[in-house]
Structure 1
Amino acid sequence: MRFSSIKALAAAAVLAMLATGCAKPTQSYDYTAFKRSKPASILVLPPVNKSPDVNATYGMLAQMTRPLAEAGYYVVPVALVDETFKRNGVVNPDEMQSIGIDKLRQTYGADAALYVEVEKYGSSYYVIGSEVTVVASARLVDLRNGDVLWTHRASASSAEQNNNSGGGLIGMLVTAAVKQVMNTLSDRTFDYAGVASNRLVAQGQPDGMLYGPRSPRYVKEQ
């Protein structure tokens, strides 16, 4: 009886481990403020560029509207936002993001603002490789009270698809050089910026952005 009990306990432990291993990932982000705020419209501020590539700000900004709109939010037209800032003498993204929330809400009427910072943007070349990398972080702020509703960080890189097998060292060097030329001529970074933008505000994943009220997947009870 004692041996049978041990076997039963062991079997139960194994089943518990298997159940835990197959369990769906849980959300670790605290969405309390987000759910309380229920933002319906978002103002995307021109991203602050921390990379050496001058194209980073608008490479990201141009591709932020679609994923947010598909998520169920009204997005204030980014071209209009940028032009309004410039007509009022504010031309630097750092200055744009430093404007008070009361002024932003008065000017654009949005419920929340998305503050984006580009950490990496562009291609890099090393001895036996070349890759395009885009890394960005975002912070969603309620323009009605200043609460930080959500933060996230995402990246996209050509290294995700790299395959350096075959051809030896010379082959890898030639491949890296060719990739660098292609990256420069075709501005592949813009494409990866689109991937990073989608990942940055993706929904339906652990710690991702919640769906907006225009999405059929929006949970009204939230």
Structure 2
Amino acid sequence: MTLSLSRLISMTTVAIATLLTGCAAPKAYDYTAFKQARPRSILVLPPVNESVDIKATHSLLSQSSRPLAEAGYYVLPVALVEETFRQNGLTQADDIHAVELKKLNDIFGADAVLYLNVKRYGSTYYVLGSATVVEAQARLVDTRTGTLLWDGKASASSEEGKSNNNGLVGMLITAVVQQVISSVTDQSHEIAGIASQRLLSVQSGKGLLPGPRHPAYADAAP
């Protein structure tokens, strides 16, 4: 079957339009609620662990305060917060995430609460290597109104930036070395720190807005 010239042009136009749409820049995040609330202090709750590694919750929690502080916010001490929950009979992250916002505000007095979820955490082994991956999601909610101020997700992998141009023998040697290192060190904790930094740092267009202690705070005002 022979296509007519007009039909061919039409099909080409559709294909180009589809390609351009797929390559379009991602939509900018709507920071309207964030700018109106202008939170100064953040309560970080223990992350809900959806991975199979029991260390994931405290690994991410222990590395969440620094990027938030560097972003310009006062972060309630996570160890003290966790102990407060424990003293009140709450030791599981799922139960802590279910606490009413008003109660969180009454007890801790923070402007916003950060809900974290660990989606992936740990190493996966395969024939010619292994990869340690950490993926996390976050939601920042106003404790006074319940308004979602911001949400985001980030991941990090031990395989980032690595080249596989070493040949089969080189790949096998590298795989053995990687598996030995993974078995004697907690590489996941290091990767979690990278993921946390990516998730909770100030980033143009998708990350947290600068807090009141950040040099760029005035530029983020409404």
The TM-score range, normalised by the shorter chain, is 0.7 to 0.9
- Aligned CA RMSD, in angstroms, stands at 1.4
| 8 Å contact kept, 2:70–2:201 | no
Please, which runs of 5 or more residues in structure 1 have no aligned partner? 1-24
SS in 2 for 1:160: coil
2:135 counterpart of 1:135: yes
CA deviation after TM superposition for structure 1 residue 176, in Å: 1.3
Taking the aligned partners of 1:169 and 1:202, their CA distance within structure 2 comes to: 39
Aligned to 2:42: 42
SS in 2 for 1:161: coil
Aligned to 2:144: 144
CA deviation after TM superposition for structure 1 residue 186, in Å: 1.4
Taking the aligned partners of 1:107 and 1:64, their CA distance within structure 2 comes to: 21
Aligned to 1:213: 212
Residues 27 and 205 of structure 1: CA distance in aligned 2, closer, same or farther (over 3 Å): farther
| 8 Å contact kept, 1:39–1:212 | yes
Aligned to 2:110: 110
| 8 Å contact kept, 1:139–1:151 | yes
* Residue identity opposite 1:39 in structure 2: P
2:75 counterpart of 1:75: yes
Aligned to 2:184: 185
Aligned to 2:30: 30
| 8 Å contact kept, 2:45–2:97 | yes
SS in 2 for 1:125: strand
| 8 Å contact kept, 2:141–2:149 | yes
Taking the aligned partners of 2:46 and 2:165, their CA distance within structure 1 comes to: 40
CA deviation after TM superposition for structure 1 residue 82, in Å: 0.6
| 8 Å contact kept, 1:26–1:206 | no
2:79 counterpart of 1:89: no
* Residue identity opposite 1:56 in structure 2: A
Q: What TM-score results when the alignment is normalised by the length of structure 2?
A: 0.85
Aligned to 1:59: 59
Q: What TM-score results when the alignment is normalised by the length of structure 1?
A: 0.85
| 8 Å contact kept, 1:123–1:180 | no
CA deviation after TM superposition for structure 1 residue 81, in Å: 0.6
Taking the aligned partners of 1:202 and 1:218, their CA distance within structure 2 comes to: 13
Taking the aligned partners of 1:132 and 1:169, their CA distance within structure 2 comes to: 21
* Residue identity opposite 1:145 in structure 2: T
CA deviation after TM superposition for structure 1 residue 26, in Å: 7.9
SS in 1 for 2:181: helix
Aligned to 2:121: 121
- The number of aligned residues is 197
Q: Share of identical aligned residues, percent? A: 52
Taking the aligned partners of 1:47 and 1:191, their CA distance within structure 2 comes to: 17
CA deviation after TM superposition for structure 1 residue 199, in Å: 0.3
SS in 1 for 2:160: helix
CA deviation after TM superposition for structure 1 residue 27, in Å: 6.2
SS in 2 for 1:120: strand
Residues 197 and 85 of structure 1: CA distance in aligned 2, closer, same or farther (over 3 Å): same
* Residue identity opposite 2:136 in structure 1: A
Taking the aligned partners of 1:184 and 1:68, their CA distance within structure 2 comes to: 31
CA-to-aligned-CA distance 1:71-129 (integer Å, 9 cap, x gap):
11000000001111111110100111110000111111100000000000111101112
Aligned to 1:194: 193
CA-to-aligned-CA distance 1:16-56 (integer Å, 9 cap, x gap):
xxxxxxxxx78611101000000000000000000001110
Please, which runs of 5 or more residues in structure 2 have no aligned partner? 1-24
